[in-house]
Amino acid sequence: MPATILDSHIFGDIFSTPAMRQVFSDGQRTACYLEIEAALARVQGRLGIIPMNAAREIESKCKIENIDLARLKQQTERIGYPILGVVQQIVAVCADGLGEWCHWGATTQDITDTATVMQIRAALDLVEADMEKIAAALAALARRYRLTPMAGRSNLQQAVPITFGFKAASLLAAFQRHRQRLAQLRPRVLVGEFAGAAGTLASLGADGLKVQSALMAELKLGQPEIAWHTVRDRIAEVGCFLGLLTGTLGKIAMDVKLMMQTEVAEVFEPFAQGRGSSSTMPQKRNPVSSLYIHANAALVRQHAAALLEAAVADHERSTGPWEIEWIALPEIFLLSAGALAQTRTVVEGLEVDSVRMRANLDITHGTIVSEAVMMGLGPHLGRQRAHDLVYDICREAVVTNTPLIDLLARNAEITKHLTRVELERMVDPAHYLGLAGEMVDRVLAIEDGARS
Protein backbone atom coordinates (compact mmCIF):
# COMPACT_ATOMS: atom_id res chain seq x y z
CA MET A 1 0.00 0.00 0.00
CA PRO A 2 1.42 3.44 -0.92
CA ALA A 3 2.68 5.25 2.17
CA THR A 4 4.19 8.49 0.85
CA ILE A 5 2.57 11.56 -0.66
CA LEU A 6 4.34 10.99 -3.97
CA ASP A 7 2.92 7.47 -4.35
CA SER A 8 -0.45 8.20 -2.74
CA HIS A 9 -3.54 7.30 -4.73
CA ILE A 10 -5.16 10.44 -3.32
CA PHE A 11 -2.33 12.98 -3.32
CA GLY A 12 0.06 11.55 -5.91
CA ASP A 13 -1.12 13.56 -8.91
CA ILE A 14 -1.21 16.78 -6.88
CA PHE A 15 2.42 16.57 -5.78
CA SER A 16 3.80 14.83 -8.89
CA THR A 17 2.75 13.37 -12.25
CA PRO A 18 2.10 9.86 -13.59
CA ALA A 19 4.64 10.37 -16.39
CA MET A 20 7.47 11.18 -14.00
CA ARG A 21 6.53 8.32 -11.66
CA GLN A 22 6.75 5.98 -14.63
CA VAL A 23 10.30 7.12 -15.41
CA PHE A 24 11.45 6.21 -11.90
CA SER A 25 9.27 3.14 -11.40
CA ASP A 26 10.74 -0.26 -10.56
CA GLY A 27 9.67 -1.55 -13.95
CA GLN A 28 11.28 1.26 -15.93
CA ARG A 29 14.48 1.16 -13.88
CA THR A 30 14.75 -2.59 -14.46
CA ALA A 31 14.00 -2.10 -18.16
CA CYS A 32 16.97 0.28 -18.31
CA TYR A 33 19.19 -2.38 -16.72
CA LEU A 34 18.07 -4.83 -19.36
CA GLU A 35 18.59 -2.37 -22.20
CA ILE A 36 22.17 -1.82 -21.06
CA GLU A 37 22.90 -5.54 -20.65
CA ALA A 38 21.47 -6.22 -24.11
CA ALA A 39 23.51 -3.43 -25.67
CA LEU A 40 26.65 -4.63 -23.89
CA ALA A 41 26.20 -8.15 -25.22
CA ARG A 42 25.48 -6.82 -28.69
CA VAL A 43 28.64 -4.70 -28.93
CA GLN A 44 30.83 -7.36 -27.32
CA GLY A 45 29.56 -9.92 -29.80
CA ARG A 46 30.23 -7.52 -32.66
CA LEU A 47 33.76 -6.91 -31.38
CA GLY A 48 34.43 -10.64 -30.96
CA ILE A 49 34.82 -10.41 -27.19
CA ILE A 50 31.99 -12.86 -26.50
CA PRO A 51 30.56 -15.47 -28.90
CA MET A 52 28.07 -14.01 -31.32
CA ASN A 53 25.51 -16.72 -30.56
CA ALA A 54 25.79 -15.82 -26.87
CA ALA A 55 25.29 -12.16 -27.70
CA ARG A 56 22.17 -12.94 -29.71
CA GLU A 57 20.77 -15.18 -27.00
CA ILE A 58 21.39 -12.67 -24.22
CA GLU A 59 19.89 -9.82 -26.23
CA SER A 60 16.79 -11.84 -27.01
CA LYS A 61 16.24 -12.62 -23.32
CA CYS A 62 16.83 -9.09 -21.96
CA LYS A 63 13.11 -8.37 -21.84
CA ILE A 64 11.17 -7.12 -18.83
CA GLU A 65 8.72 -10.03 -19.14
CA ASN A 66 11.60 -12.39 -18.30
CA ILE A 67 12.14 -10.72 -14.94
CA ASP A 68 10.20 -11.86 -11.90
CA LEU A 69 10.04 -8.60 -9.90
CA ALA A 70 8.89 -10.37 -6.73
CA ARG A 71 11.93 -12.63 -6.92
CA LEU A 72 14.13 -9.63 -7.79
CA LYS A 73 12.92 -7.97 -4.59
CA GLN A 74 14.06 -11.00 -2.58
CA GLN A 75 17.39 -11.14 -4.40
CA THR A 76 18.01 -7.44 -3.86
CA GLU A 77 17.22 -7.69 -0.15
CA ARG A 78 19.67 -10.59 0.17
CA ILE A 79 22.48 -9.22 -2.04
CA GLY A 80 22.03 -5.51 -1.36
CA TYR A 81 21.78 -4.49 -5.04
CA PRO A 82 19.43 -5.47 -7.86
CA ILE A 83 21.90 -5.89 -10.75
CA LEU A 84 23.20 -9.33 -9.83
CA GLY A 85 19.62 -10.51 -9.40
CA VAL A 86 18.74 -9.26 -12.87
CA VAL A 87 21.79 -10.95 -14.36
CA GLN A 88 21.03 -14.22 -12.54
CA GLN A 89 17.50 -14.25 -13.91
CA ILE A 90 18.70 -13.56 -17.46
CA VAL A 91 21.35 -16.27 -17.20
CA ALA A 92 18.66 -18.71 -16.06
CA VAL A 93 16.44 -18.15 -19.11
CA CYS A 94 19.22 -18.26 -21.71
CA ALA A 95 19.68 -21.54 -23.57
CA ASP A 96 22.74 -23.77 -23.52
CA GLY A 97 24.57 -21.83 -20.83
CA LEU A 98 25.07 -18.88 -23.16
CA GLY A 99 23.83 -16.49 -20.51
CA GLU A 100 27.12 -16.91 -18.66
CA TRP A 101 28.52 -14.29 -21.06
CA CYS A 102 26.02 -11.71 -19.76
CA HIS A 103 27.47 -8.70 -17.89
CA TRP A 104 30.94 -9.53 -19.23
CA GLY A 105 33.53 -7.15 -17.74
CA ALA A 106 30.91 -4.94 -16.12
CA THR A 107 30.31 -4.10 -12.49
CA THR A 108 27.10 -3.35 -10.62
CA GLN A 109 27.73 0.37 -10.46
CA ASP A 110 28.33 0.59 -14.20
CA ILE A 111 24.84 -0.69 -14.91
CA THR A 112 23.21 1.23 -12.07
CA ASP A 113 24.77 4.58 -12.93
CA THR A 114 24.14 4.24 -16.65
CA ALA A 115 20.52 3.33 -15.97
CA THR A 116 20.23 6.38 -13.72
CA VAL A 117 21.55 8.59 -16.51
CA MET A 118 19.00 7.10 -18.88
CA GLN A 119 16.26 7.90 -16.39
CA ILE A 120 17.60 11.43 -16.02
CA ARG A 121 17.52 11.83 -19.80
CA ALA A 122 13.87 10.80 -19.97
CA ALA A 123 13.00 12.92 -16.93
CA LEU A 124 14.69 16.02 -18.33
CA ASP A 125 12.65 15.66 -21.51
CA LEU A 126 9.50 15.85 -19.39
CA VAL A 127 10.87 18.82 -17.45
CA GLU A 128 11.76 20.64 -20.65
CA ALA A 129 8.31 20.11 -22.15
CA ASP A 130 6.66 21.74 -19.13
CA MET A 131 9.24 24.52 -19.07
CA GLU A 132 8.39 25.42 -22.65
CA LYS A 133 4.66 25.51 -21.95
CA ILE A 134 5.16 27.72 -18.91
CA ALA A 135 7.45 30.02 -20.91
CA ALA A 136 4.81 30.29 -23.64
CA ALA A 137 2.15 31.24 -21.08
CA LEU A 138 4.43 33.85 -19.49
CA ALA A 139 5.20 35.29 -22.92
CA ALA A 140 1.48 35.61 -23.62
CA LEU A 141 0.96 37.43 -20.31
CA ALA A 142 3.93 39.72 -20.94
CA ARG A 143 2.65 40.60 -24.38
CA ARG A 144 -0.95 41.14 -23.34
CA TYR A 145 -0.16 43.23 -20.25
CA ARG A 146 2.94 44.98 -21.58
CA LEU A 147 1.73 48.43 -20.49
CA THR A 148 -0.83 47.51 -17.83
CA PRO A 149 0.23 49.57 -14.81
CA MET A 150 0.37 48.06 -11.35
CA ALA A 151 2.19 48.71 -8.12
CA GLY A 152 5.73 47.46 -7.85
CA ARG A 153 6.35 46.35 -4.28
CA SER A 154 9.41 46.55 -2.08
CA ASN A 155 9.41 45.02 1.44
CA LEU A 156 5.71 44.30 0.84
CA GLN A 157 5.02 48.04 0.49
CA GLN A 158 4.08 49.86 -2.69
CA ALA A 159 7.26 51.19 -4.29
CA VAL A 160 6.91 52.66 -7.79
CA PRO A 161 4.64 51.65 -10.66
CA ILE A 162 5.61 48.80 -12.97
CA THR A 163 3.52 46.88 -15.47
CA PHE A 164 2.12 43.39 -15.10
CA GLY A 165 3.77 42.57 -18.41
CA PHE A 166 7.10 43.59 -16.86
CA LYS A 167 6.51 41.20 -13.94
CA ALA A 168 5.66 38.35 -16.33
CA ALA A 169 8.63 39.13 -18.58
CA SER A 170 11.07 39.09 -15.67
CA LEU A 171 9.92 35.56 -14.89
CA LEU A 172 10.08 34.60 -18.55
CA ALA A 173 13.69 35.80 -18.64
CA ALA A 174 14.47 33.37 -15.81
CA PHE A 175 13.00 30.53 -17.87
CA GLN A 176 15.18 31.57 -20.78
CA ARG A 177 18.20 31.22 -18.51
CA HIS A 178 16.94 27.85 -17.28
CA ARG A 179 16.62 26.78 -20.91
CA GLN A 180 20.28 27.68 -21.44
CA ARG A 181 21.31 25.83 -18.28
CA LEU A 182 19.49 22.71 -19.40
CA ALA A 183 21.12 22.77 -22.84
CA GLN A 184 24.54 23.25 -21.28
CA LEU A 185 24.23 20.54 -18.65
CA ARG A 186 22.95 17.79 -20.92
CA PRO A 187 26.35 17.00 -22.52
CA ARG A 188 27.98 16.97 -19.06
CA VAL A 189 25.31 14.89 -17.35
CA LEU A 190 24.10 12.47 -20.02
CA VAL A 191 27.28 10.43 -19.90
CA GLY A 192 27.23 6.69 -19.24
CA GLU A 193 29.43 4.61 -16.97
CA PHE A 194 31.27 1.44 -17.94
CA ALA A 195 34.61 1.02 -16.24
CA GLY A 196 34.71 -2.20 -14.23
CA ALA A 197 35.57 -2.89 -10.62
CA ALA A 198 37.70 0.16 -9.75
CA GLY A 199 37.21 2.13 -12.95
CA THR A 200 40.24 0.96 -14.95
CA LEU A 201 38.48 -1.56 -17.27
CA ALA A 202 41.17 -4.08 -16.33
CA SER A 203 38.80 -7.02 -16.87
CA LEU A 204 38.63 -6.33 -20.61
CA GLY A 205 42.29 -5.57 -21.20
CA ALA A 206 43.05 -3.61 -24.35
CA ASP A 207 39.44 -3.92 -25.54
CA GLY A 208 37.92 -1.95 -22.66
CA LEU A 209 37.68 1.47 -24.25
CA LYS A 210 36.41 -0.01 -27.52
CA VAL A 211 33.57 -1.68 -25.64
CA GLN A 212 32.87 1.48 -23.65
CA SER A 213 32.72 3.62 -26.78
CA ALA A 214 30.49 1.19 -28.67
CA LEU A 215 28.19 0.73 -25.68
CA MET A 216 27.65 4.45 -25.21
CA ALA A 217 26.99 4.84 -28.93
CA GLU A 218 24.33 2.11 -28.68
CA LEU A 219 22.71 3.83 -25.72
CA LYS A 220 23.07 7.32 -27.25
CA LEU A 221 24.98 8.57 -24.24
CA GLY A 222 28.26 10.40 -23.96
CA GLN A 223 31.42 8.39 -23.37
CA PRO A 224 33.21 9.32 -20.14
CA GLU A 225 36.81 10.44 -20.38
CA ILE A 226 37.50 8.51 -17.17
CA ALA A 227 35.45 6.58 -14.64
CA TRP A 228 33.20 8.64 -12.37
CA HIS A 229 32.07 5.98 -9.90
CA THR A 230 32.77 8.23 -6.90
CA VAL A 231 33.02 11.64 -8.57
CA ARG A 232 29.37 12.60 -8.55
CA ASP A 233 29.23 16.17 -9.83
CA ARG A 234 27.06 15.08 -12.80
CA ILE A 235 24.23 13.96 -10.54
CA ALA A 236 24.63 16.89 -8.17
CA GLU A 237 24.46 19.32 -11.09
CA VAL A 238 21.04 17.99 -12.08
CA GLY A 239 19.83 18.50 -8.54
CA CYS A 240 21.15 22.05 -8.42
CA PHE A 241 19.51 22.83 -11.76
CA LEU A 242 16.16 21.60 -10.49
CA GLY A 243 16.66 23.62 -7.33
CA LEU A 244 17.12 26.76 -9.42
CA LEU A 245 14.19 25.93 -11.69
CA THR A 246 11.77 25.20 -8.88
CA GLY A 247 13.03 28.29 -7.07
CA THR A 248 11.60 30.32 -9.95
CA LEU A 249 8.37 28.33 -9.73
CA GLY A 250 8.26 29.14 -6.03
CA LYS A 251 8.71 32.83 -6.83
CA ILE A 252 5.71 32.67 -9.17
CA ALA A 253 3.65 30.94 -6.48
CA MET A 254 4.68 33.44 -3.83
CA ASP A 255 3.65 36.45 -5.90
CA VAL A 256 0.35 34.84 -6.91
CA LYS A 257 -0.47 34.07 -3.28
CA LEU A 258 0.25 37.64 -2.23
CA MET A 259 -1.67 39.12 -5.14
CA MET A 260 -4.67 36.88 -4.35
CA GLN A 261 -5.04 38.40 -0.88
CA THR A 262 -8.48 39.93 -0.38
CA GLU A 263 -6.99 43.37 0.16
CA VAL A 264 -4.97 43.12 -3.08
CA ALA A 265 -7.07 40.93 -5.41
CA GLU A 266 -5.05 41.63 -8.56
CA VAL A 267 -4.70 38.08 -9.89
CA PHE A 268 -6.35 34.75 -9.15
CA GLU A 269 -5.57 31.13 -9.85
CA PRO A 270 -7.94 29.63 -12.46
CA PHE A 271 -11.46 29.14 -11.19
CA ALA A 272 -13.07 25.72 -10.90
CA GLN A 273 -16.23 24.93 -8.98
CA GLY A 274 -15.32 24.33 -5.36
CA ARG A 275 -11.59 24.83 -5.87
CA GLY A 276 -9.96 26.58 -2.92
CA SER A 277 -13.17 26.68 -0.93
CA SER A 278 -13.24 26.58 2.85
CA SER A 279 -15.13 24.03 4.93
CA THR A 280 -16.41 26.81 7.20
CA MET A 281 -16.12 30.08 5.24
CA PRO A 282 -18.15 29.91 2.02
CA GLN A 283 -16.86 33.25 0.72
CA LYS A 284 -13.23 32.15 0.48
CA ARG A 285 -11.28 31.45 -2.69
CA ASN A 286 -7.97 30.16 -1.44
CA PRO A 287 -4.88 29.64 -3.56
CA VAL A 288 -4.34 25.93 -4.18
CA SER A 289 -1.70 25.25 -6.82
CA SER A 290 0.56 27.93 -5.36
CA LEU A 291 0.61 26.15 -2.01
CA TYR A 292 1.75 22.89 -3.56
CA ILE A 293 4.35 24.67 -5.68
CA HIS A 294 5.76 26.32 -2.55
CA ALA A 295 5.94 23.01 -0.66
CA ASN A 296 7.48 21.09 -3.55
CA ALA A 297 10.07 23.76 -4.32
CA ALA A 298 11.16 23.84 -0.68
CA LEU A 299 11.70 20.08 -0.64
CA VAL A 300 13.56 20.11 -3.97
CA ARG A 301 16.11 22.47 -2.43
CA GLN A 302 16.57 20.09 0.49
CA HIS A 303 17.08 17.16 -1.86
CA ALA A 304 19.58 19.19 -3.89
CA ALA A 305 21.58 19.55 -0.68
CA ALA A 306 21.38 15.78 -0.21
CA LEU A 307 22.83 15.23 -3.69
CA LEU A 308 25.69 17.58 -2.84
CA GLU A 309 26.25 15.50 0.29
CA ALA A 310 26.35 12.36 -1.86
CA ALA A 311 29.20 13.90 -3.87
CA VAL A 312 31.52 13.45 -0.87
CA ALA A 313 32.32 9.81 -1.66
CA ASP A 314 35.16 7.63 -0.47
CA HIS A 315 37.89 6.16 -2.70
CA GLU A 316 36.80 4.30 -5.87
CA ARG A 317 33.54 2.83 -4.51
CA SER A 318 31.63 4.63 -1.80
CA THR A 319 30.14 3.29 1.41
CA GLY A 320 26.80 5.03 1.71
CA PRO A 321 26.90 8.35 -0.17
CA TRP A 322 25.89 6.62 -3.40
CA GLU A 323 22.69 5.31 -1.83
CA ILE A 324 21.68 8.87 -0.90
CA GLU A 325 21.17 9.45 -4.62
CA TRP A 326 18.85 6.47 -4.89
CA ILE A 327 16.50 8.17 -2.45
CA ALA A 328 16.93 11.84 -3.34
CA LEU A 329 17.19 11.81 -7.13
CA PRO A 330 13.81 10.23 -7.97
CA GLU A 331 12.08 12.41 -5.38
CA ILE A 332 13.68 15.60 -6.65
CA PHE A 333 12.37 14.85 -10.13
CA LEU A 334 8.93 13.78 -8.88
CA LEU A 335 8.59 16.95 -6.79
CA SER A 336 9.85 19.12 -9.65
CA ALA A 337 7.33 17.54 -12.02
CA GLY A 338 4.54 18.31 -9.58
CA ALA A 339 5.67 21.92 -9.18
CA LEU A 340 5.92 22.33 -12.95
CA ALA A 341 2.46 20.87 -13.53
CA GLN A 342 0.89 23.10 -10.89
CA THR A 343 2.69 26.15 -12.29
CA ARG A 344 1.34 25.40 -15.75
CA THR A 345 -2.15 25.33 -14.27
CA VAL A 346 -1.59 28.73 -12.68
CA VAL A 347 0.02 30.64 -15.52
CA GLU A 348 -2.02 29.15 -18.36
CA GLY A 349 -5.29 30.05 -16.65
CA LEU A 350 -4.30 33.06 -14.55
CA GLU A 351 -7.11 35.57 -14.04
CA VAL A 352 -5.77 39.15 -14.14
CA ASP A 353 -7.79 42.10 -12.83
CA SER A 354 -6.19 45.15 -14.45
CA VAL A 355 -8.92 47.44 -13.07
CA ARG A 356 -8.04 46.39 -9.53
CA MET A 357 -4.36 46.91 -10.31
CA ARG A 358 -5.10 50.49 -11.28
CA ALA A 359 -7.31 51.02 -8.22
CA ASN A 360 -4.52 49.78 -5.96
CA LEU A 361 -2.16 52.30 -7.54
CA ASP A 362 -4.49 55.03 -6.32
CA ILE A 363 -4.90 53.94 -2.69
CA THR A 364 -1.91 55.98 -1.57
CA HIS A 365 -3.46 59.14 -3.04
CA GLY A 366 -0.55 59.53 -5.43
CA THR A 367 2.36 59.01 -3.05
CA ILE A 368 3.45 55.91 -5.02
CA VAL A 369 4.86 58.33 -7.59
CA SER A 370 6.59 60.58 -5.06
CA GLU A 371 9.89 59.65 -6.69
CA ALA A 372 8.61 61.08 -9.98
CA VAL A 373 7.64 64.30 -8.24
CA MET A 374 10.99 64.53 -6.50
CA MET A 375 12.88 63.97 -9.76
CA GLY A 376 10.64 66.51 -11.53
CA LEU A 377 11.30 69.14 -8.88
CA GLY A 378 14.99 68.40 -8.62
CA PRO A 379 16.11 70.63 -11.51
CA HIS A 380 14.20 73.54 -9.95
CA LEU A 381 14.87 73.08 -6.23
CA GLY A 382 17.90 70.83 -6.09
CA ARG A 383 17.63 67.11 -5.41
CA GLN A 384 17.98 67.18 -1.64
CA ARG A 385 15.53 70.03 -1.15
CA ALA A 386 13.08 68.37 -3.51
CA HIS A 387 13.43 65.10 -1.55
CA ASP A 388 12.82 66.74 1.81
CA LEU A 389 9.88 68.79 0.58
CA VAL A 390 8.15 65.87 -1.10
CA TYR A 391 8.82 63.68 1.96
CA ASP A 392 7.02 66.18 4.20
CA ILE A 393 4.12 66.54 1.77
CA CYS A 394 3.77 62.74 1.49
CA ARG A 395 3.57 62.47 5.28
CA GLU A 396 0.85 65.11 5.28
CA ALA A 397 -1.02 63.27 2.51
CA VAL A 398 -0.99 60.06 4.55
CA VAL A 399 -1.97 61.70 7.84
CA THR A 400 -4.74 63.89 6.39
CA ASN A 401 -5.90 61.39 3.73
CA THR A 402 -5.51 64.14 1.13
CA PRO A 403 -4.60 63.48 -2.52
CA LEU A 404 -0.95 64.27 -3.16
CA ILE A 405 -1.83 66.40 -6.19
CA ASP A 406 -3.89 68.78 -4.05
CA LEU A 407 -1.09 69.33 -1.56
CA LEU A 408 1.48 69.79 -4.30
CA ALA A 409 -0.72 72.33 -6.08
CA ARG A 410 -1.14 74.33 -2.85
CA ASN A 411 2.57 74.61 -2.16
CA ALA A 412 3.92 78.00 -3.23
CA GLU A 413 7.49 76.76 -3.51
CA ILE A 414 6.38 74.18 -6.06
CA THR A 415 3.84 76.24 -8.01
CA LYS A 416 6.52 78.80 -8.77
CA HIS A 417 7.93 76.22 -11.16
CA LEU A 418 5.16 73.79 -12.16
CA THR A 419 1.48 74.18 -13.07
CA ARG A 420 -1.25 71.88 -11.76
CA VAL A 421 -1.55 70.30 -15.21
CA GLU A 422 2.17 69.49 -15.15
CA LEU A 423 1.86 68.12 -11.63
CA GLU A 424 -1.14 65.98 -12.58
CA ARG A 425 0.87 64.34 -15.31
CA MET A 426 3.71 63.86 -12.87
CA VAL A 427 1.54 62.02 -10.34
CA ASP A 428 -0.16 59.75 -12.90
CA PRO A 429 1.32 56.25 -12.38
CA ALA A 430 0.83 55.43 -16.04
CA HIS A 431 3.36 58.15 -16.88
CA TYR A 432 6.03 56.72 -14.58
CA LEU A 433 6.60 53.24 -15.96
CA GLY A 434 10.18 53.85 -16.96
CA LEU A 435 11.38 51.54 -19.71
CA ALA A 436 9.14 48.66 -18.65
CA GLY A 437 7.65 48.27 -22.12
CA GLU A 438 11.01 48.28 -23.85
CA MET A 439 12.35 45.70 -21.40
CA VAL A 440 9.35 43.48 -22.04
CA ASP A 441 10.02 43.75 -25.75
CA ARG A 442 13.65 42.71 -25.26
CA VAL A 443 12.64 39.55 -23.42
CA LEU A 444 9.91 38.73 -25.94
CA ALA A 445 12.37 39.17 -28.81
CA ILE A 446 14.63 36.57 -27.21
CA GLU A 447 11.68 34.24 -26.76
CA ASP A 448 10.50 34.70 -30.33
CA GLY A 449 14.03 34.00 -31.56
CA ALA A 450 14.22 30.80 -29.49
CA ARG A 451 10.97 29.54 -31.00
CA SER A 452 11.68 30.51 -34.61
One of 179, 285, 317, 356 is an active-site residue; which one? Answer: 317
299: closest CA among 329, 332, 266, 270? Answer: 332
Establish whether 8 is a catalytic residue: no
Number of residues assigned to the chain: 452
CA distances from 389 to 111, 261, 414 (A): 73, 34, 9
Distance, CA of 310 to CA of 316 (rounded, Å): 14
Strand ranges (E), 197-333 = 267-268
Instruction: State whether the Cα torsion 87-2-269-293 is positive or negative.
Output: negative
Rg over CA atoms, the chain: 30
One of 177, 275, 278, 451 is an active-site residue; which one? Answer: 278
| Contact present, 296 and 245 (Cβ < 8 Å) | no
Count the alpha carbons within 13 Å of 36 in the hemisphere toward its beta carbon. 32
Distance, CA of 445 to CA of 289 (rounded, Å): 30
Distance, CA of 367 to CA of 429 (rounded, Å): 10
Residue 342 class from Cβ within 10 Å (0-12 exposed, 13-18 middle, 19+ buried)? Answer: buried
287: closest CA among 200, 192, 351? Answer: 351
Strand ranges (E), 74-209 = 149-154, 157-163
Residues with Cβ within 8 Å of 227's Cβ and at least 6 positions away in sequence, in order, are 193, 195, 198, 199, 200, 316
Distance, CA of 85 to CA of 88 (rounded, Å): 5
Q: What are residue 222's DSSP bridge partners?
A: 191
Establish whether 317 is a catalytic residue: yes
Catalytic residues: 278, 317
